[in-house]
A and B are shown apart, each in its own frame.
Chain A
Amino acid sequence: MSAPYSDRHPASVESSAPDPDTPNPATDPHAVEVRVMAVPEQLPVMRAVVGDLAMRADFDVDTIADLRLAVDEACSSLVRIAAEQSPLVGRFRSAENLLEFTAEVTSPEASGPRTNTFSWRVLSALTDNVASSVREAGDNADGHVVRIQLSKGRMVHE
């Protein structure tokens, strides 16, 4: 987690290695990646994608609506801390009974989203799992990669 060698700036294997938890469209037929500028105007794109994936997965209408709200909330809080002229990357994976979403931005701040906020409360209520992480950007890039990861499963009906 910590980066004790940051002053030496190695070719940061850790930061460029694919994260097994992140949906990867290159290797996963169920993964979708959307890359937009980290500005509020682009959030409807993220909402539309998650809504569409959830509808096609035939999730119930409550879950579809909650996922749209959750993606909107997660992306909004990341956009607020994103560096100027930087991308917001959304990665979606729609498995049979689970929809996973990861959003990340590059931020000048090392502190990620705080979990004692109203926004986090909203995210927790809308999803089954939500977590955030921060790591150094690496690859000679400045800043920190801040990520919010969330997932929500299909409602189980008897």
Chain B
Amino acid sequence: MTRADSEHAYRGQNYEELAPLFVEFADLDKRDRRYAELRDRLVTEHLPIAQHIARRFSNRGEAQEDLVQVATLGLINAVDRFDPHRGVDFLSYAVPTIMGEVRRHFRDTGWTVRVPRRLQERHLSISAAISTLSQSLGRAPTPSEIAEHLGISREEVHQGLEAGNAYRSSSLDELLSDTDEIPLGDAIGSSDTELDEVENRAAIRPLLEELDERERRILVLRFFRSMTQTQIAEQVGISQMHVSRLLARTLSRLRDRIEVDVPAESLSD
């Protein structure tokens, strides 16, 4: 499935011309300007591979954009660690490295407490079921509807939903903070006119500004636009359970920061 079609090709795309660059890259000093330039180019050129691997893991309850970020991180690691002098081509090294990064994201970094694999998988299937059922019902499903859809018991759905509360969604931000030279943010950030409206009159603005773009957007949509979590999930492109976790985290962070009461009139439309 992810094996290179030939030594330097992946899904019909040939990366052979990049091979000499790895040799040059490996011998460069990190302080050399050429080093950063080459690193950037090698990562960018191989991005389609990371994106493809991320797609293979979609529909498992994680946002596509998150997966692409994790896969890209795997790619960056692969570029940094690849040793062209060992006679292995880059693709054979990079693909398992990227896959490993994505798998690790699923297995470990997302969970704050040790949740058994079986429960994690149930959580992911429930997350996917919520998304499917929301589409077909036009509203959020109930646990009994999820149980029926998946052919499991209500009790199992309860356990899966509960497990979701032990899931940590900030792992990505933490992972990515080390790799800020790669402009991943460009793909994610987008202007939000709805937010502007609130920001203009909000005394809470400085606090909102400390949040990242997506957290802020979700907060605004839920509390100032009265959208449901399911609607937000669809609009933002992440799962409902993920929206729920982000809201819980954001509110708790804001609570820690709000010392002064915010006048209501500065918040209302």
Contact = CB atoms under 8 A, between A and B. Distances in A.
Contacts of A155: 139-140
B251 A62 contact: no
Interface in A52-98: 52, 55-56, 58-66, 68-69, 72-73, 76
A114 interface: yes
A8 interface: no
Contact of B141 (A60, A73, A114, A120): A60
A63 B140 contact: yes
Contacts of B247: 65, 69
A141 B211 CA distance: 42
Contacts of B230: 61-62
Contact of A62 (B157, B162, B229, B255): B229
B83 to A, nearest CB: 47
Interface string B237-261: 0001100100110011011001001
A51 B248 CA distance: 13
B267 interface: yes
Nearest to B146: A61
Contact of B255 (A58, A59, A119): A119
A122 interface: yes
Interface string B154-168: 100110011001000
B152 to A, nearest CB: 14
A61 B162 CA distance: 11
Contact of B143 (A55, A65, A68): A55
A6 interface: no
B264 interface: yes
A146 to B, nearest CB: 16
B2 interface: no
Contact of B204 (A66, A72, A114, A118): A118
B251 A72 contact: yes
Given A55-B158, A72-B248, A119-B258, A61 B142 contact: yes
Contacts of A68: 165, 244, 248
Contacts of B254: 118
- Of the listed residues A60, A114, A121, the one surrounded by the most CB atoms of chain B closer than 10 A to its CB is A60
Interface in A101-119: 114-119
A125 interface: yes
B222 interface: yes
23 contacts: A52-B158, A55-B143, A55-B161, A56-B158, A59-B142, A60-B139, A60-B142, A61-B230, A62-B140, A64-B161, A65-B229, A68-B244, A76-B252, A115-B264, A116-B261, A116-B265, A118-B254, A119-B255, A121-B223, A121-B264, A122-B223, A122-B251, A155-B140
Interface of A: 47-48, 51-52, 55-56, 58-66, 68-69, 72-73, 76, 114-122, 125, 155, 157
